[in-house]
């Protein structure tokens, strides 16, 4: 890695300080988390770190990362990560994004293909494929936590939060993550109307993955996403829904590594 300095789990990009998971050695993998935030204890991160140098920041406003007052759109996040990629001074970077992070990764890729080697999008959001009055993505802010949980997990108990076991700091971060996700995705809801017309600019090998039981990103939505990126392929992970990295981490990591190795 180049001039970028990561110390004590913190990373400075311009004037924005980010909390970051950084582990492993080898090919650099920049991982952009989804709207639930980044769990640094998640097993899949350490699985990936066996083969990659994993750099996984918490987006501005998530976790313990700064939230500058000027940040209010996915565009802001995309340009922040473009700056980070320049700081890393690496070529052949693997960029992976999960759900909301997949949207950010796609926005980065349409602007900066020359520094990227592979693009991996897991249950990505960010495009509009249906009619104007049709919701492509369920309104997670209007549904109850129980309803969202049923849509997001193949096995209902998997990933269920036991709020009574969380510390005050963990609860604060959970609320902060939800508020920040709404800031970036509320209007228009979960998409950039122009992104679908720009995805053709991505000319690097691209893999899209989706859990077979995903009730948030449908098969039709994932197929449309893949069709808009030249040469992209779609793979479905059995016995998983919106979070295959939680429900089927070994299967997801295996496919990611195989694809990244070409």
Alpha-carbon distance of 260 to 145, in angstroms, equals 35
Return the structure tokens found at 116: 């990227």
Q: How confident is the model at residue 3 (pLDDT cuts 50, 70, 90)?
A: low
Burial code (b: 16+ CB inside 10 Å, e: under 16) for 178-216 equals bebbeebbeeeebbbeebbebbeebebbbbbbbbebbbb
Classify residue 37: in a domain, yes or no.
yes
Sheet holding 52-57, edge to edge: 6-7, 10-13, 16-23, 52-57, 27-32, 93-98, 116-122, 206-211, 233-237
Residues of the chain above pLDDT 70, percent: 96
CA max distance for the chain: 47
User: Under 8 Å CB-to-CB from 243, ≥6 apart: which residues?
Assistant: 34, 36, 98, 123, 152, 153, 159, 211
Domain extent at residue 36? 6-260
Express each pLDDT in 166-211 by its tens digit. 788 989 999 999 999 999 999 999 999 999 999 999 999 999 999 9
User: How many domains would you assign to the chain?
Assistant: 1
Q: Give the per-residue pLDDT at 22.
A: 96
List the CATH number of the domain containing 192: 3.40.50.1820
Measured between alpha carbons, how far is 106 from 133 in angstroms, rounded to an integer?
Answer: 24
In a domain, 117, yes or no: yes
Q: Are 57 and 18 in contact (CB under 8 A)?
A: yes
pLDDT at residue 91 above 90?
A: no
Q: Per the domain annotation, does 24 fall within a domain?
A: yes
Which one has a higher pLDDT value, 62 or 8?
62
Asked if residue 93 belongs to a domain, the reply is yes
In a domain, 170, yes or no: yes
pLDDT at 6: 84
* 129 in any annotated domain: yes
Is residue 75 domain-resident?
yes
Asked whether residue 1 is domain-assigned, the answer is no
């Amino acid at each position: 890695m180049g001039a970028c300095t990561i110390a004590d789990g913190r990373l400075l990009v311009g004037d924005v300080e980010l909390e970051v998971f950084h582990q492993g050695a080898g090919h650099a993998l920049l991982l952009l988390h989804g709207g639930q935030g980044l769990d640094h204890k998640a097993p899949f991160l350490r699985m990936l770190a066996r083969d990659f140098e994993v750099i996984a920041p918490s987006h501005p406003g998530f976790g313990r990362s700064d939230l500058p007052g000027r940040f209010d759109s996915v565009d802001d996040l995309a340009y922040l990560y473009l700056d980070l990629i320049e700081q890393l001074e690496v070529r052949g970077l693997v960029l992976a994004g999960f759900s909301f992070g997949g949207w950010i990764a796609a926005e980065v890729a349409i602007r900066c293909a020359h520094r990227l080697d592979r693009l991996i999008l897991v249950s990505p959001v960010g495009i509009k494929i249906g009619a104007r009055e049709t919701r492509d993505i369920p309104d997670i802010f209007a549904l109850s936590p129980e309803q969202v949980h049923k849509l997001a997990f193949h096995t209902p108990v998997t990933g269920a939060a036991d709020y009574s076991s969380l510390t005050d700091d963990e609860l604060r971060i959970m609320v902060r993550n939800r508020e920040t996700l709404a800031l970036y995705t509320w209007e228009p809801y979960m998409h950039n109307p122009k992104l679908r017309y720009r995805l053709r600019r991505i000319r690097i090998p691209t893999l899209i993955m989706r859990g077979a039981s995903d009730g948030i990103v449908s098969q039709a939505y994932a197929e449309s996403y893949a069709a808009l990126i030249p040469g992209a392929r779609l793979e479905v992970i059995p016995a998983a829904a919106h979070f295959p990295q939680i429900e089927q981490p070994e299967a997801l990591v295996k496919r990611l590594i195989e694809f990244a190795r070409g």
